[in-house]
Structure 1
């Protein structure tokens, strides 16, 4: 009896660790793909012309495709295969990397590296907090998601107003919101890992978790870049 209990405990612990590892491996892969795509696009004059020429129509099409992919992945997760979900996530990270190439055009390389390092530090610290805290972050997560919806509305309004002060405040709020969401998403992933197994359902949930962490990191990085980046 004790032997069986010990074996079951080890099995559950292994499944938990596999789920967490799988989630962060997907996130890391997405960041690498985005970084390579961004650097390659920024180094290719033809790609830049396709994106930012003709009133930046290429950039707008890519941006719409990004939003569509996230929506489709979220809505069809139950019905698509693990391979399909992973492929969509990879395509999304590739497209997002292409759009991120704009930062090489606007900011100097030192500012990009500094902002990336700052975002990585904040992400790691908040991930550790989300893992270590005994406090339930569910309520805080709901408030942060509500704040994010409000931020999106304000961002759309400021897209018309083009106020530098409001843009600065939006960037500050974005850092705060996504820093908090990093801890919330980390805790949510750890709780999901408690009941995870090697089924296709949990493999797809790991991809969604990786997407959430990826978006947390990217938004922190871009907001820090807008706040502290030195423009060319």
Structure 2
């Protein structure tokens, strides 16, 4: 009997090999993309921490943030201005400009967050930071690996975030310690959920930006989302775990 193989089998095999090659290339690109997001996010947190610590140790934080004058309000609200610029202007900004604004934002956030060193002990800040880092890593890993579609939680999380902001504003006038603890507890849960949700959202975004000029800017915006999740979860946890000076 002649030794031959069905060319159709070879065709299917070749097609399968091409498909596998494309899938492998996509997976490698996705890993590189997510690694860039995490690197930007972690570097932003590191920059914020360094600036906050140096600003507090210099004595300027106590003079400016705890004293009179308009400069403390500029420092407090400047980060919001950077977020608005990035959120609404990202399509018009170059990748380099987007990156520069992100680094500027992280630095200014450091000035704003220096106040925690005036209120809490360094040991409790460090303990809370590492607890937040561990929780963030687990939640983000879940968001990255889960097969469950988390997009359905988006509306609920956004509504919860709006409610949290409103409740925080109300408590500025009420000055209720019990209400503050409730807000903090809800805040931790909310940003825990947002960490998993945003991670999955960033991961799914890759298929739309891969190989385009938007990829670089998407990395920065993804890092910004995770940065905000981390910082807010840290601040809410600090209200529970922080020991006051």
Common topology (TM > 0.5): yes
- The yes-or-no answer on 1:54 pairing with 2:68 is yes
**Distance in 2 (alpha carbons) for counterparts of 1:6 and 1:45:** 59
**Distance in 2 (alpha carbons) for counterparts of 1:196 and 1:74:** 17
Give runs of aligned pairs for residues 101-140 of structure 1, distance below 5 A. Answer: 101-140=114-153
User: Match for residue 200 of structure 2?
Assistant: 187
**Distance in 1 (alpha carbons) for counterparts of 2:79 and 2:60:** 21
Displacement of 1:53 in angstroms is 2.0
Deviation digits for residues 68-118 of structure 1, max 9, x if unmatched?
110111000100000111111101100111111111111011110111111
Displacement of 1:182 in angstroms is 0.4
Secondary structure in structure 2 of the residue aligned to 1:53 = coil
Displacement of 1:47 in angstroms is 4.6
**Distance in 2 (alpha carbons) for counterparts of 1:164 and 1:39:** 27
User: Match for residue 207 of structure 1?
Assistant: 220
- The yes-or-no answer on 1:25 pairing with 2:39 is yes
**Distance in 2 (alpha carbons) for counterparts of 1:29 and 1:161:** 37
- The yes-or-no answer on 1:42 pairing with 2:56 is yes
Does the 8 Å contact 2:52/2:113 carry over to 1? yes
User: Match for residue 75 of structure 1?
Assistant: 88
**Distance in 2 (alpha carbons) for counterparts of 1:164 and 1:46:** 29
Paired residue for 1:95, among 108, 111, 119?
A: 108
Deviation digits for residues 167-209 of structure 1, max 9, x if unmatched?
1111111000000000001111111123442422121111111
Structure 2 length normalisation: TM-score?
A: 0.89
**Distance in 2 (alpha carbons) for counterparts of 1:219 and 1:150:** 15
Displacement of 1:50 in angstroms is 2.9
**Distance in 1 (alpha carbons) for counterparts of 2:209 and 2:29:** 6
Displacement of 1:135 in angstroms is 1.3
Does the 8 Å contact 1:69/1:88 carry over to 2? yes
Deviation digits for residues 192-229 of structure 1, max 9, x if unmatched?
12344242212111111100100101111111111121
Paired residue for 2:162, among 136, 149, 156?
A: 149
Which segment drifts farther, 70-79 or 128-137?
128-137
**Distance in 2 (alpha carbons) for counterparts of 1:11 and 1:139:** 29
Displacement of 1:4 in angstroms is 4.2
Which structure 2 residue ranges, 5 or more long, are not aligned? 1-13
Displacement of 1:156 in angstroms is 0.8
User: Match for residue 9 of structure 1?
Assistant: 23
User: Match for residue 63 of structure 1?
Assistant: 76
Does the 8 Å contact 2:41/2:226 carry over to 1? yes
Q: Number of aligned residue pairs: give it.
A: 231
Q: CA RMSD in A?
A: 1.5
Deviation digits for residues 6-44 of structure 1, max 9, x if unmatched?
443333223212211111111011011101101100110
Larger relative contact order, structure 1 or 2 (CA cutoff 8 Å, min sep 6): 1
Structure 1 length normalisation: TM-score?
A: 0.94
